[in-house]
Structure 1
Amino acid sequence: MTTSTATPATAAPVSTPSPVSAIPALSPERAFAFFAERLGCQADPADVWYALRDGRADFTLLDVRIEGAHRKTHLPGAISLPLAEITPERVAELPAGLLVVYCWGPACNGSTKAGMKLAALGREVKEMIGGLEYWIREGWPTEGRRPIDPKTATPADLGLVC
């Protein structure tokens, strides 16, 4: 009986593809368009923080959680505009230019809904992926009645309300 010492990288090809390759990757051109489209609607918390820190914020931050959650803690300089209060009149009061919306975190789609409403009202908008939850996880500063220290934050501190 002979035993094989071949590693998976050198083993003979298998006839069943992996779950990764079972669906073929897009062409590079189509993949580029897909990723560019996603980035046209999303902002990363790190990019938002560095723009704020470096004085290059060419956008307005909108916290679309309820007003009480915003009062408790929010991103520096964020304007409170709860999802339920996004109306043509309120939007007309906002500064011109790009809006960046956020909610609590990935399990809350309030910022996605807000982005859709704002776009329907003719505004350029991006959603900050990860929301306040991931902002705090990265250790960046917050404002409000209870600024958050990410090292000691409890779920109650984090305003788990959309």
Structure 2
Amino acid sequence: MSDQSAVKSSGLASPAESAAYLAEKLRFHTDAADLASDLYAQHSEIVALDTRSSEAYERGHIPGAISFPHRLMDEASTARLDRSKVYVCYCDGIGCNGSTWGSYKLAKLGFMVKELIGGLDFWQRDGHPIALGAEAGVLAGGGIECDC
């Protein structure tokens, strides 16, 4: 057994540095529990955007989410979006960067965005329902409590 800690081998941030970094990280991302909480509460300023293809959206999406494939996002196609809203972009999950592309494109165009950690995969793992088909649907019911 080595006397050297693998965890500490790359150095440690001070508590103040850690707090500053983690506060920044929270400004850019949200998780399924927080998004579900806002959707259940019908916070109209929060909009879930499914950045996958329309075919993937129809196979299953977050209820209430708008289908807006990131590949179609540009200045003209985003003109219909309300700039007073916060757009939470998601894709399949951590193996997909569609939500990153969507968030990046929207931010470059001046929209407020957050990226959903784990995408639709983590949404379903947390026990939240999905909607099928081309209609957005509505997230209804009491919600599921976060275990964290």
The residue number in structure 2 matching 1:49 is 36
Distance 2:45 2:133 in 1: 26
The residue number in structure 2 matching 1:101 is 89
Contact 2:39 2:46 in 1 (8 A): no
Give the superposed CA RMSD.
1.8
> Would you say 1:117 and 2:108 are equivalent positions?
no
Distance 2:133 2:65 in 1: 14
Q: Percent identity?
A: 38
Under a length normalisation based on structure 2, what TM-score does the superposition of the two structures give?
0.83
The residue number in structure 1 matching 2:139 is none
Read off the aligned partner of 1:36 and give its amino acid letter.
Answer: A
- What SS class does the counterpart of residue 127 from structure 1 fall into? strand
Read off the aligned partner of 1:122 and give its amino acid letter.
Answer: G
Distance 2:132 2:21 in 1: 37
Gaps of 5+ in 1: 1-7, 9-13, 147-162
Shift in CA distance, 33/66, structure 1 to aligned 2, threshold 3 Å: same
1:133 to 104, 112, 121: 121
Contact 1:101 1:114 in 2 (8 A): yes
Q: CA deviation at 1:83?
A: 1.2
Contact 1:115 1:126 in 2 (8 A): yes
Gaps of 5+ in 2: 135-148
How many residue pairs match? The answer is 133
Q: C-alpha deviations, 1:131-159, integer Å up to 9, x for none?
A: 0011111111111239xxxxxxxxxxxxx
Following TM superposition, where does structure 1 have runs of at least 4 consecutive aligned residues deviating by more than 6 angstroms? none
Max radius of gyration: which structure?
1
Distance 2:116 2:16 in 1: 26
Under a length normalisation based on structure 1, what TM-score does the superposition of the two structures give?
0.76
> Would you say 1:75 and 2:62 are equivalent positions?
yes
Q: CA deviation at 1:56?
A: 3.1
> Would you say 1:91 and 2:78 are equivalent positions?
yes
Distance 1:119 1:58 in 2: 16
